[in-house]
Structure 1
């Protein structure tokens, strides 16, 4: 594999015309203005070639650049979902999810949702080490039909649905189960796999608001119009956006209850819990009654 060239022009040239001279002691290139000095060794095993277009990207965050370099170094089939990356690095799910979106925006990552043979929805991730390269192999096109068929009328796009903050696989799978169960309440709510893929994030956004799957099911099936539903997916998308409940109020964690040590009552010698020695509650009550 080719080695990476890390030569970068300094921000300002020195008095000697920008010529850097080797150091007599180390043999490395000395910089006149206190900039970086490279002490490089040629890698022969276990290395990854990363382009300067990534490492010096003007718009990507440092987290996104490092995450892309890590993903490019992984073997094919390695997990790169938000949960797996959060377990590997200390940045947390929020920053990792934001970095993945950056890489998608700039073409270093492609993520698509696909359905497996057993009906599960999975995310397929493709890492691109050089976005927009002209030598990329195009996707194979389906064979052209032997005869011309009538084109179906253009399909109107579904309304936008809310998006979850953390689209975890388990959350999306539960959301898909909610959509699949709607037709049991009303057969008119039978939707296609394509429509379900569009609606799943909206249901997941509801589940993130501490709603049970049963509660989301009831909200989507309540008060349906009596007439036939020509576009049930559009109705569900509208309800998911228009009836989205607010986020639950923040509840700070409760402080643990204080457990006092055992004390022996000075009057009856029975054990009781209190911060300091003294008399138990029963003896104090008897003393107050006799007084």
Structure 2
């Protein structure tokens, strides 16, 4: 089999016109008749894009409209990890090949709309997408002879700016950076009893909501969050109800849903008995004062005379 391939390659090289280069790659170019994609050298030989970004750009350009090209879909397709693929998509976005915006559908759901431009230098002009003018409809001739076929329009020059017959459509701005994700609640002390109970609650979720099937790694990661709830004296039935009620249909990432609810729905600690006791109103204590006249003690907020001395003073004044 290897000999047949070598002989076929030798014959193909012999049919190439002109002398073969002494070194470097030799192209045996056989025209495609189906399943091919035209890729510009500005992408395939881009000097500022990484090899991963170029490969993903070529892959996205070869896919039909409507194909999933998010990070999760590309990670499932290729051996590169999520970090490298996310970085490659950011490279394509920075150089104008990829545009990702968040839009709201008619049903209120937010989705990411991805647009890939095979020639960003020719399509994007100063932040605007140039819409080519619509072709004029052909008018049926009045003479019986068919008119000669019109010559095909010349290919647009990428270096020239075409005339705009319609106002440019502005490219929506890129999505603002998301705020950092809130940390998962942590218990004061993750005891073996708390760990065992929390693991059992998480593993049992699929018996109450079949969509919440968690892997062992997901359970291990989410155990501290459930333990924090248990430490605040929340019953397992209440935790299960909070995690399984009103789930989206279908839940795309069950572990992320559980993590989000454990974080944002965490109840406060139960108040102590002293916090719930009604406030006791203590009687106002008026201090004792010594009378300036008779030196007897009497209650008053300010020093002075007692009631008897005040009466004597009033009678003497009269």
When normalised by structure 2's length, the TM-score is 0.38
Q: Which has the higher contact order (CA 8 A, sep 6+)?
A: 1
Give 1 or 2 for the bigger CA radius of gyration: 2
